[in-house]
Structure 1
Amino acid sequence: MSTFYERWLGGRQGALGLLVLSLLIFAILPLFLDIFRLNLVGKYLTYAFAAVSLVLLWGHGGILSLGQGVFFGLGGYCMAMFLKLEASDPISTAKQTTPGIPDFMDWNQVTQLPLFWVPFHSLTFAIIAIFVVPAIFAYIIGAAMFKRRVGGVYFAIITQAVAAILTILIVGQQGFTGGINGITDLKTMHGWDINTNSAKYILYYVNGLLLIGVILLSKFVMTSKFGRLLLAMRDKEDRVRFSGYDVANYKIFIFALAAVISAIGGAMFTLQVGFMSPSFVGIVPSIEMVILAAVGGRMSLIGAVYGALLVNYGKTAFSESFPQLWLFLMGGLFIAVVMFFPNGLAGLYQTYVKPHVDGFLDKVGIGGKKKAAVAKVTAPAVAEKEEAAK
């Protein structure tokens, strides 16, 4: 029980933070928001997966990736391909020149379903691909870079270039990917209409559960020996290397894990929003994901979720009121956070709120200082008893 409490929940503060976040996601927001706004929050929470992945990768690993949108998009496209094939059955597409293939392929005079699309008739294959495809892609990039000790700003620029290349590739191969419009008109999943209000509620809760599960897994990774090595590599990489550890392999693993976490968010985005396009793959969304982690606090998993909610809400409000200026406002927000609140929302909580919360918890006797004081008083007595028994 103590292992679960400390390693999976992150101790008293971690458990409390997770409880508050769970209440917000599963009780408070559904109670006060209509289905349209709740679905919008669900969309924001899909970005939180990418923010959480950056806490692991950037905050704890010291590896700044400006290409997380790549993996977010790969997960989204894997899910979208399955949904699109289900929506493109021969009966629904009977008016096309070639029935049974997605409409954008027919418009581009593609007469046969490409081979790499065929396995996505299976939902099982699509779910496996959401995990495997981003992991393999991240492994290839990571092995090429980290084995040659490419890091820091050079790695960040390379990941940004990869995001740009993939966007250009998706747009250019319009007949196979849907091009700039992406994959749209997604209706059902195994016959279940994903556009109804009841389906949106279910997908919102599934999204929340997956996010909580990812946070728990990430906490376990951070409190493990691997997590301690990550911190050591971030601060003194050469010392870790000289101690006999293969730094490159550790970096490749955390990069691949962060890619899979982002891909899960992309898949849930496709289900909740109903489409996927290259506009969620490129440089701009990747930089926005870094902003989410920075605003929430790049060392805090739960802070990353609040950062995703706050920044995306601000983005929606800014773009509605100032459609020409919202990118500048987002950039200004990032600069302000880096200059004045380098630890983000989590840093503000640690400085101004946590002392009061600790005082209250100690007062009511929930863990913390009271337990430490009891242990300090009882330890000598226990030692005396053990000595007498000997």
Structure 2
Amino acid sequence: MQYQGDYAEDATVYIMFNTFTSNDPSASSTITDFINTDVHIHKDDGLTQRNNAAGITVSVDFDGITGSHMIKIDTSNDTVGGFWVTGSDYFVRIEGGTVDGATGGINAVVGHFSIENRYNAIVDYDPPTKAEMDTGFAAVPTVTEIQAEMEENGASILDSIRDLLPGSTMAAATDIPAMVGTNNAALASVVGALTDGAADGDPTTAETLMQYIKQLINIMVGTAGVVAFPVEAAPGNGVSLAEVIRAIHADVTGLNGSAMIGTNSAALATVCTEARLVQLAEANLPTDIAAIPTVMVGTNNAATETKQDIMDTNIDQIETAVITNAAGTDIAADIIALKAVADAIQAITDALPNSGALTIDSVAFDAAMTQILSYVSGKIVKTSDAYEYKKRDNTTKAFTNTAAAAQRTRS
């Protein structure tokens, strides 16, 4: 059962319900032996039911649909007097009829509705007609009439306005509290007048709001501009924007000129010359690039790598001969022997007289040097009664020493 709604008095109510078989699952089934006298209606919780066919119409298998049925109730039918009244609920029940062969008939509540029991009074609102509205509007004064009334009765209108302002006990305009509206001396002294001149410099308690507004306009776009621009200062607390702008201006002045700024030193000027710039010009770059060798010159080239290996080998040999080998069979040993000879010569020359010219026989000196070198570095071969000193090749005899063994410095 479902609630059909709240109806106006004398309305027609339509209730649909369905019937099914007793099978599981069930299916829609028609109802037989069902007529309008099988409809019973209870008002509110009363036990007296309306069981009268007057105003009741039933349609079995409504619209040809098996198992769907309709009950139509005309509440304007007052055959049963005093039954249909406003402010009551009605419950519709069927009693009788056969469904799926069930005997004894069916008892089931199939609907519920009310008559103006949940009623909104606006439904019965009767708006005024045009003629009534024209008559009502005719009593409203026109703009001209209102204006004439205000001119004629201005004092009474002012009284009404006073009543609406704060403090309903005001007796005159002078009783209006301070700062109400804009036509007030106190507010005017703060805002100022359009004729006030622009302020300049730091804020004070003497200038008006209008003066400060004009000052801002002058700073932004006005012809007067900043009357006294402050000196430059680095950004920081207590520094104005104008001071920072002045500092930026000082830093960038001249950057768009021809002279070098910040790098204008003699050393740089001698390097960055017009000739150098011509060499770096776009027209010269292809020629410079074409001059770059196409064959790699360095350590990543096969030919260069071979030469590098040879140089490394030679350097190793020189290092071994000159620096690391002191056994007397290489250049290092010769240098050591030569140093000893030089020391001996130094000792002889130191013993010579300091006066007079010294004449040296070059042939004799060479022979002497050969003997000395053979003596200090050549091979010594012992014979029966002497020693043969070989030259540095250890084959050619340099000289024979017959001195006793005790007299020789080498043995």
Quickly name the TM-score band, shorter chain normalised: under 0.3
Normalised by the size of structure 2, how large is the TM-score? 0.13
Question: Which has more strand, going by share of residues?
Answer: 2
**Structure whose alpha-carbon radius of gyration is higher:** 2
